[in-house]
Structures are given as C-alpha cells and as structure tokens.
Structure 1
C-alpha cells in the first residue's frame, strides 16, 4: 500500500483514496500566500472509519459550503490514508505537487509527517493540523490540552469521593500519546490524595467490547470500589454497563461525550448515578479550516491554538445526549463563530 501511495505521489495525482470530493475545478493555484479567494483545500486524515471521523467530515463539509458561498474556497477533497502513515505522507506530497493552497491534517504520527508538512509550508501552502498533532513548529496546530482533560476528570472524582476510596482507572492503549497524557494529568491530581488508591490501572482499546471485558476482569478482582476514573467514552460505558448488568452499586464514573454512555448516564440519574464528561470536539476541524483561511487573509493566526474542553455535567447533560442517535456517535454543541474568531486571532 505504501509503495502504491508513493507511486501516486510521483505520478502527481491528488490521492490514492479520495473519500470526498466537493471540488470545483481550479487551475494554477498559487503556492504563495494571497487573499483568501477560491482556495484549493485538502484534508489529509489517517483514517475515516471511526464515527468521530465521519462526524468531523460532515462538520467540515458544512463549513466548506459556507466558505464557498463567500467565495473563499473553490474546492475541497478528503484524502484517507486508511491507517497507513506512509500513504498519508505520499498523499501530502501529492497535494504539494498539485499546488493546493491549504492542507488540513489529522496526523497518523507525531513525527513521521514532519518533513512532508514542512515541505508543504516551504512551498507556500498553509498547513494546519488538528486533533492528532505533529511536533513540527512550522505548522499551525489546533488541539485540546490532554493533560488538562485527565486533571479535570481526576479532580471531579477526588471531590466526589471526598478525598478517599478505591478507584479503578480505565485508560486507553498503553503507549498511545493521548492516553498517556490524560493519565499523566490525572496521576498528578491523585498524588495529592494519599487516601485514594488506584487498585487497578486498566489499558484498553477505545471500543466497548474489549473495554467491557477489561473492566469486568478488574472489577471481579476489586468489587469494593468507590469510583472509576475513565478517560474515554466507550470505556465509561463499559464500566457503567457492567455495574448495571451485575446489579451493583453505581459508583461515580468519569466520561466522554460517547452517546451510549450519555444515554446510560441519563437513564440512571434518578438512581443517583453522577458523572462529569468532556469531549475531543469535532469542531476542531472547523477551527483548523477557519484558521487556514484567516492565515491566507493575512490574519496573525497563533501557531498553537488550544481549544477549551467542554464540560458535560448532571445539569447540562440533556443538552448533549441524543436519544435518537446511535450509541457510537459523539454529540457536541456547535462553537459560536465569535468564539472561533477569537481563538484564531480575528
């Protein structure tokens, strides 16, 4: 696959796997910064399969429609690397050859893409990364503070437990930077509470089935827990589902805007279940696109844009949960344009 992708790049075609094409033909796109008009935009993503990515694509396409109406964007393509970092690099280099004005990227590697992205910047292309970020300081980066994510969740749980109790920690796969950063933020908080004991630190894929199996195993060994620190929505859903199925005490569980978890949270509120959840908001993609257009307009866009984490509480849960949507969706409220403009320096 990587070899084929490289050949695609050498041949100068835009991508081996173009998932979305809402383009209007435009030839001779300038590689030098100019007034944001008729921009040729490409989104390079490491994969599109997860529902979060599908929602992100729809949100981005909605913003593209608005920008087309304003005469700022003429074409938009989504290039899917299907989980292959080598293919993503090849697709980025193909976009350089095709003289794209803007490249938006959700990186499959924090370091491997850096040379290709910096080559794009050197060619006068505006490059903005979001969600999974490269380490290059040459590109604009839009993301959330993952350590703050873990810290927020751990602080709420520690307060809920009044500083003492036994906790199972549900983390993502070992070695994944997002998971490690979230846990680092949480661990720093838990160190302040010597009477809170992490009786089991579980690593799981961010999917319901493996998470349910992992939590059930940890819970069978430590049934007298007082809370669950969870850094992912499917992990939270797995923990709550297990307690409900076994008719056990519903202890506080931190969460994410995974709709399946939000549904269960709401249905068990009357039984006393409580949570705090946050989100990796899909509108990071919209902020990235708007930042790129603003950069082309001459706005002094910050190199690093840190987007505040949403807070889903017992009080505003009804604003997020979507009973008519699938469990594996990630409901999020739109960020007002005024807030986007503030973040990108307009």
Structure 2
C-alpha cells in the first residue's frame, strides 16, 4: 500500500562517496557473491535501494524479491544481491545509488523517496550502462523502467462501486490520506471522476488522516459524530477503512459500505461483519511490483526489449473473494496478496 508512509520530496546535492554506504543500512540478500562469468551470459550484480524497509508492506516486498532472486540465482542469472535501506532519508538514497554506480552494479532497483530528487542519480546510472528499474513510488524520469499502478484508477474503481452500491444516492464521508500527498490526491481525483456520474450522492465531509490506525480512528470518529446519517464511506487506505469500520462496530451503528485496501486488520473486520450486512470492494498496491521490476530489469540487462513504463492491473477483493486474501494467522498490519503467476509477469514485461 502506498499509504505505508508519507513521502516528501527533498532537494539534495550529489553525495557520491563509496564510504557513504557504511551509513546506508545495507542488508545483504544472502552471503553469496560471484563474478557472474560462469555460463552463457553474465550473472548479474543486483542492488535494491528502498526509502524505507521497516513498514510491514516493505518487509513483505523484501521477502518476495529475495525469494525471486533465489530462483534467478538458481538459473544462473543473478550472482549477487544487496538491499540498501535509506531509513527515510532521500539524500542517503542518492548516496546509495551513486555508490552502486561506482561499484559497477548491473541492475539497480529503486523504491523512491522522492519523485524528482533521485532523477539525476538514476539517470547517471543509466548513462553508465546500468539497468535501472523503479517501482511502487515512482520518479518522473522517463529514462528508467517504471513499474506501478494507476492511482487515479484506484479511486475511480472505488468511487464507481460505491455509487452503484448506494443506488446512485445518499451521503458519504470521503476519508483520504494526508492533504497534499500525491497518492492521496490522485486517488481522490479518480473517485471524484466516478462520483460525478451519481449527482445525488453528496460528500458530507472530506476527512484527511495519516495512514495509521490511531490517528485515523480519531479523525473518522469526529467526522462521523457530525454526520451520523451517512450512507457510505469512500476510504482510500486500509488503516483508514479499518478505523471507519471499527467506529461503526464499537458504536453499534448500522453497517454502511466502506471501500478499502488489503490491510489485514480491515479484512478481518470485514469478514467478521459480513453476517451483519457489511460489504466492501478493496484493492491493493501489490508487493509483487518489486518482482515485476526485478524480472523486467534482468530481462533488459540480458538484451531483451522491455517497456519503459509497466502499469500493473489493480487486484479486486470482493465479498466473494475475501476468503482468498484475509489471513487470520497474520498480524493486522500485514497486506495479504495473491502472487502474480509468472506467465502474467512475462506478458507485462513483453516476454
């Protein structure tokens, strides 16, 4: 989920020293390494620079990528893999990328802390002959492979479902992320486009909150107390949806439809409340974006033609498919997702 953290664009200067990596929070994918010269083609040296690694979404993404790296190592396509954690510091992330250039990595993966500040370093890597693939939080440079989802479509899909679910009329609360955050703004723009088709649906309140359960619960409770007669909630993040549904449950209010995300705490509540008439449509920022970026970069480094922009379809979690996603044995802040089959990944990257 994009709402795992709030990203800020930071104006930075180049930090190109190799010594900078000592402070960059380096985590090795495994202890093996090699020069990659054994076999028909060179086995690649791959690095991933991520703005954060602590959030549960990032931990799941890290595991998915490492699992796929293990497969590619077994095929002789990857010799070495390293993870670099910038701990929320965009300048540190730039230092990581420049260090990987100097250390002659073949592939650099990036989950960006800024849409613009990393562009020069990433383009420097491309000019040095390195394959760069950016996923999830995307930069604006068109010189790198970018793998993401359409955030406006996220909002359109949710807004359309909610409009139809309400029969085209009623009052809703719009529950958005922090004001000014690009992802939040894009999702709400998409929702507004869809809701224009339903002129009898009125937005009683537009609430902004951090993508965390505690502040979201406070923000929604306040908006709901002022608008207890709502018929639905457009929510664009899993913790926000969980907070809204928890409020209805705790106050023993009637269930109204709430859009959501694959935040496991929300999925658990959804499953519990289905018998009471609760319904939702949810989607996800899928962790396998990282795997798609890795596969695209490895293919491109091997000489294949790969699209520079890969838009990944948003999954749909419905009342009928909920049981495929919700995980009773996993923590609330996990993001269960079904893996994307390799043939579908191959189609996306043009293989």
Which of residues 280, 283, 290 is equivalent to 2:288?
A: 283
Structure 2 unaligned regions, length at least 5? 1-9
- How far off is 1:36 after superposition? 5.5
Partner of 1:308: 313
The one of 68, 76, 80 equivalent to 1:71 is 76
- Please name the residue that 2:3 is paired with: none
Provide the secondary structure at the position in 2 that maps to 1:74. strand
Q: 1: distance between equivalents of 2:24 and 2:271?
A: 43
Instruction: Output the TM-score relative to the length of structure 2.
Output: 0.93
Query: How many Å apart are 1:48 and its aligned residue?
Result: 0.8
Is 1:129 the counterpart of 2:134? The answer is yes
Q: In the aligned structure 2, how far is the partner of 1:228 from the partner of 1:12? A: 46
Counterpart pick for 1:56 among 50, 53, 61: 61
* Deviation readout 1:233-292 (Å, 9 max, x if unpaired): 000000000000000011000000000000000111111100000000000000000000
State yes or no: 1:330 paired with 2:338.
no
Looking at structure 2, the residues matched to 281 and 6 of structure 1 have their Cα atoms a distance apart, in angstroms, of 32
In structure 1, the residue matched to 2:30 is 22
Displacement of 1:7 = 6.6
Q: Which segments of 5 or more consecutive residues in structure 1 lack a partner in the other structure?
A: 30-34
Q: Which of 253, 274, 277 is matched with 2:258 structurally? A: 253
Specify which of 166, 169, 179 is matched with residue 164 of structure 1: 169
CA–CA distance in 1 between the matches of 2:300 and 2:35? 21
TM-superposed CA distance for 1:194, in Å, is 1.6
Q: Distance in 2 between matches of 1:27 and 1:166?
A: 62
State the number of aligned residues.
339
What per-residue deviation string (whole Å, max 9, x for no partner) do you get for residues 51-94 of structure 1? Answer: 00000000000000000000000111110110010110011001
Matched residue, 2:5: none
Distance across 2 between alignment mates of 1:264 and 1:13: 43
